[in-house]
């Protein structure tokens, strides 16, 4: 097993592992190894200094056997086709794990959104939307926010697509602002799902969340929402990080105060009730719950043996490499995989899509109750599969997810 894998090779390795475990039909395995379709676009954007800059964007559909394509759009300098393929594959599995009627998709533009002003971001988004519009539609492909994008980005995509169609189409994207058809509870849905799954994991092993110690890598949308919900549950948040660095307080931090500090300064760095911490050291703290909620490939062969957390709850996509998984398991660390732990976001995106199609909207309490029900059910099914097959939770999640996708592929058959 190689540690030096690109994202899609890592996803392929995860698929191969579970295929062996469940004796997956080789023909189905062959289908799942390949994305259904890929679109790469190169497009110009007029910059505010008068220059024209070319950008490269992607949209990948992995598998549509269970329904239309669902997956986020990210803006990041390192975005490439391999990463987008992997993320689309993980979305296929994730949607199946929580039993949503979607297939997996992902998109992205190779850019640094922090280097673009608001007008340039809008122009980039609208031009990218026109380039991939042939794939989009409420019954075809429904994007959502991801790293470097947000509700405003989705509003621009919705408006651009609606202009092309000549009518307002709210259900073409999810993660939109409430004012244009977004769902209550969507912003913190991924973080809420992380906390729900963490709670269920502890309960299934005789523990409980209150008084648990927590370290959160990444204080973005997912990490910040999770940290706040852990804090409200009575957990002790000992460490936090963002792109500028990390902070630590052994006695725990007031997350509401941290949020206020970030609103004023734009970073967790310098928060007066904590000390500076090497970001790499955050992953190695002796906490009950480690929440990697930043980029992929954070826990690797190089540092996995030093991870002291009892549980790793993956808020990010692909933060743990296959070799690191083996090392963590041998040291007794329980990993709750991304395809289960961070599925709260796509679950509430599903709710938003349904609400948009029906033009009938739910209250935040209804959304949160339905999210709770789905996440608890999904954890129970994955945990049961882990016991049945005597395997770790990642393998169990793939057994559940791949099994459902394989069943759909087999039922549909091959046309012509």
Using DSSP's 3-state secondary structure scheme, residue 84 falls into helix
CB 187 within 8 A of CB 355: no
* Catalytic residue ranges: 106
Rounded CA gap, 154 and 158, in Å? 6
In this structure, the number of other CB atoms found within 10 A of the CB of residue 388 comes to 10
CB 41 within 8 A of CB 132: yes
What residues contact residue 290 under an 8 Å CB cut-off, 6+ apart?
Answer: 214, 215, 217, 283, 307, 309, 311, 312, 313
Rounded CA gap, 243 and 282, in Å? 13
DSSP letter, residue 150: -
Across 218-269, the runs of DSSP E, i.e. the strands, are 236-242, 245-248
Rounded CA gap, 54 and 124, in Å? 10
DSSP class per residue in 349-411 = HHHHHHHHHHT----HHHHHHHHHHHHHHHHHHHHHHHHHHT--HHHHHHHHHHHHHHHHHHH
Rounded CA gap, 69 and 103, in Å? 5
Structure tokens at 20: 């062996």
């Amino acid at each position: 097993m190689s540690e030096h894998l690109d994202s899609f090779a890592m996803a392929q390795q995860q698929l191969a592992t579970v295929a062996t475990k469940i004796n997956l039909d080789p023909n189905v395995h062959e289908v799942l190894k390949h994305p259904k379709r890929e679109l790469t676009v190169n497009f110009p954007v007029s910059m505010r200094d008068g220059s024209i800059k070319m950008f490269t964007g992607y949209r990948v559909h992995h598998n549509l056997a269970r329904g239309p394509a669902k997956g986020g759009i990210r803006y990041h300098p390192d975005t490439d086709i391999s990463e987008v393929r992997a993320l689309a594959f993980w979305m296929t599995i994730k949607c199946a794990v929580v039993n949503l009627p979607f297939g997996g998709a992902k998109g992205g533009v190779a850019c640094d959104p922090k280097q673009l002003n608001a007008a340039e971001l809008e122009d980039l988004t609208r031009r990218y939307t026109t380039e991939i519009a042939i794939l989009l539609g409420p019954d075809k492909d429904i994007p959502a926010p991801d790293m470097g994008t947000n509700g405003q980005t989705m509003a621009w995509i919705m408006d651009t697509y609606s202009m092309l169609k000549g009518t307002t189409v709210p259900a073409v994207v999810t993660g939109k602002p409430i004012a244009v058809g977004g769902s209550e509870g969507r912003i913190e849905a991924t973080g809420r799902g992380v906390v729900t799954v963490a709670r269920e994991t502890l309960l299934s092993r005789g523990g409980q969340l209150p008084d648990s110690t927590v370290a959160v890598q990444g204080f973005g949308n997912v990490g910040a929402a999770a940290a706040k919900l852990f804090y409200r549950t009575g957990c002790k948040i000992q460490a936090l990080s963002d792109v500028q660095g990390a902070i630590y307080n052994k006695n725990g931090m007031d997350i509401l105060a941290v949020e206020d500090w970030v609103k004023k300064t734009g970073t967790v760095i310098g928060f007066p009730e904590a000390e500076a911490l090497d970001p790499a050291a955050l992953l190695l703290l002796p906490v009950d719950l480690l929440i990697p909620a930043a980029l992929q490939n954070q826990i690797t062969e190089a540092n996995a043996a030093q991870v002291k957390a009892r549980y790793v709850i993956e808020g990010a996509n692909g933060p743990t490499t296959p070799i690191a998984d083996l090392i963590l398991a041998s040291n007794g660390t329980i990993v709750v995989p991304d395809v289960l732990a961070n599925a709260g976001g796509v679950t509430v995106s599903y709710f938003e899509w349904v609400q948009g199609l029906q033009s009938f909207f739910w209250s935040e309490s209804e959304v949160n109750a339905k999210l709770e029900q789905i996440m608890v059910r999904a954890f129970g099914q994955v945990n049961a599969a882990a016991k049945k097959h005597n395997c770790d939770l990642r393998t169990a999640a793939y057994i559940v997810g791949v099994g459902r996708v394989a069943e759909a592929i087999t039922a549909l058959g091959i046309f012509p």
